[in-house]
Amino acid sequence: MFEHLKEQPADKILALMEAYKGDPRDDKIDLGVGVYKNPEGITPVMRAVKAAEKRIWEEQETKAYTGLAGDPAYADAMISLVLDGAVPRSAVSAVATPGGTGAVRQAFELIRMANPGARVFVSDPTWPNHLTILKYLGIETVAYRYFDSKTGGVDFDGMMEDLKGLKPGDVVLLHGCCHNPTGANLTGPEWDAVIATLNEAGAMPMIDIAYQGFGDGLDVDALATREVASACPETLIAASCSKNFGIYRERTGLLMAISQDSSKQKVAQGNLAYLNRQNYSFPPDHGARLVTLVLNDDKLRADWQSELEDVRLNMLSLREQLASEMQRLTKSDRYGFIAQHRGMFSRLGLSTEIVEALRKDHGIYMVGDSRINIAGLNKETVPVLAKAIVEAGG
């Protein structure tokens, strides 16, 4: 049977990671992998998470299953964090998932169950896993313009023109904050216009929010998601705890299905639990238990928010430093957008030839479309990157 299997294309980011590992140069710089790193190049375990793990180790008396949807306390804590009362709790169905990717996958599965003919509109560009999962599930995908490589901002006119093609029952996938891979976000008025377009077309929003707290702060980063959830008849939200809690390997996510008609909540909850059962049965609990404990303990939550704010400000400082250094070296503002972007990523608008030259000649690794992880830098390596970009012709 296995002779009928076909070779699958290598994941470009994972391949980049392997190439970086094999590079013997001591001064190499990894700007490809999408994990937060502190100035010492370490992805730390957050203080509050460590304290929560110790408490769980001391107090936990069983490892029995929690339920198909996961621990209800986890869902309640995450719904409060993301939505903060924007919609009644009775309108929200939710299940724990293996990371944000699991939430995205289950959301697409639910869309296919509810409307096999639904099309999913996806920003160009978007996180590659969005596209590969949609393709695997056989769901039709429609790209809408999003990033303007000339300005480093959002091509909002192009986006709105493309969304005119929406039909009732279609889904529009949106990034709640810190757009991956570009770092360019919609403004408040632009979000309002998108919501109006969705409602006029009878289309449903699906929000992937993986970086809450990494952009402008926990509440500001969730404002658009809350507005969409309260203004649209139905909304799907895939949330991840990997980044803002630093628990990447614990695979901790949550899928929310929101309906303004709360009578639909029970059937939606049942279908989400059914999908969990079919795909992996009971979801993992350790990361979810950590998140629940941190969010529900005043002292731990305050410490977590303080450390998360340090993470956010570190990335903003690096953005401002890189934009300033590029301005100094190029005598222009053409890289000023770096300071305006939010989250871990920015797309620099460099050609594939320049990206390759940076890797070959300078040991600087970034994704082929010139997406960089800003957290892969520190104060010492920012000038190194800026100088290399200019020398390579950027």
Q: Where are the alpha helices (DSSP H) in the chain?
A: 12-22, 47-59, 72-83, 99-114, 128-137, 156-163, 188-201, 218-231, 265-279, 286-296, 298-330, 337-340, 352-362, 381-391
> Is the residue at 4 inside a domain?
no
Q: Are residues 167 and 239 in the same domain?
A: yes
Per the structure, the count of domains in the chain is: 2
Instruction: Answer with the one of 267, 296, 325 that is the final residue of a domain.
Output: 296
The catalytic residues are: 127, 208, 210, 243
Together in a domain, 97 and 244: yes
Burial degree of 160 (CB within 10 A; 0-12, 13-18, 19+): middle
Of 16, 19, 47, nearest to 34 by C-alpha is 16
Q: Are residues 243 and 354 in the same domain?
A: no
Looking at 248, 270, 296, which one is the last position of a domain?
Answer: 296
- Residues 279 and 160: their CA atoms lie apart, in Å, by 36
pLDDT of residue 353: 96
Based on the fold, state whether residues 253 and 272 are members of the same structural domain.
yes
Kindly state whether residues 33 and 87 are assigned to the same domain.
no
Per-residue pLDDT tens digits for 207-218: 999 999 999 999
Residue 50 lies in a domain: no
pLDDT at residue 262, rounded to an integer: 86
Q: Is the peptide bond before 125 cis (omega within 30 degrees of 0)?
A: yes
Q: pLDDT at position 10, please?
A: 79
Cα–Cα nearest to 239, from 260, 219, 224, 225: 225
pLDDT of residue 11: 81
Other beta carbons within 10 Å of 267: 12
337: in domain: yes
pLDDT for residue 56 is more than 90: yes
DSSP bridge partners of 252: 98
In tens, the pLDDT along 244-260 reads 999 999 999 999 999 99
pLDDT tens-place string over residues 275-298? 999 999 999 999 999 999 999 999
Task: Specify whether 35 is located in the same domain as 111.
Answer: no
pLDDT digits (tens, 9 = 90+) for 224-244: 999 999 999 999 999 999 999
What is the domain range of residue 342? 10-44+305-391
**Are 88 and 169 found together in one domain?**
yes
> Is the model's pLDDT at 127 over the cut of 90?
yes
Centre a 10 Å sphere on the Cβ of residue 78 and count the other Cβ atoms it contains: 24
Quick: pLDDT tens for 187-204: 999 999 999 999 999 999
Backbone angles phi, psi at 358, to 5 degrees: -65, -40
Are residues 267 and 326 both part of a single domain? no
SS3 label, residue 143? strand
Q: Is residue 2 part of a domain?
A: no
Contact assessment for residue 139 and residue 111, using Cβ atoms and an 8 Å cutoff: yes
Which residue, 183, 120, 176, 172, is CA-closest to 148? 183
Pair 103, 206 in one domain? yes
What pLDDT is stored for residue 273 in this prediction? 97
175 in any annotated domain: yes
Dump pLDDT digits (tens) for 129-185.
999 999 999 999 999 999 999 999 999 999 999 999 999 999 999 999 999 999 999
pLDDT band at 17 (very low <50, low <70, confident <90, very high): confident
DSSP 245: S
pLDDT of residue 9: 84
What's the one-letter identity of residue 123?
S
For the segment 349-369, the average pLDDT, to the nearest whole number, is 95
Domain-embedded: residue 311: yes
Type of residue at 250: E
Per-residue confidence (pLDDT) for residue 122, from 0 to 100: 98
Residue 16 in this model has a pLDDT that exceeds 90: no
Q: Give yes or no: residues 312 and 193 share one domain.
A: no
Same domain for 175 and 118, yes or no, is yes
Asked whether residue 51 is domain-assigned, the answer is no
CA 283, distance to chain mean position in Å, is 20
pTM (whole model) above 0.85: yes
> Tell me: the pLDDT tens digits for 79-113?
999 999 999 999 999 999 999 999 999 999 999 99
Position 33 confidence tier, pLDDT thresholds 50, 70, 90: confident
What is residue 12's predicted lDDT score, i.e. its pLDDT? 80
Amino acid at 310: D
- DSSP code of residue 333: S
Write the CB contacts of 216 (distance below 8 Å, at least 6 apart in sequence). 177, 312, 342
pLDDT digits (tens, 9 = 90+) for 326-348: 999 999 999 999 999 999 999 99
**Domain holding 224: CATH number?**
3.40.640.10
- Does residue 34 belong to any structural domain of this protein? yes
Rg of the chain's alpha carbons, rounded to an integer? 21
* pLDDT reported for residue 169: 97
Of 296, 319, 334, which marks where a domain is finished?
296
pLDDT of residue 34: 87
CATH of the domain at 383: 3.90.1150.10
Same domain, 40 and 89: no
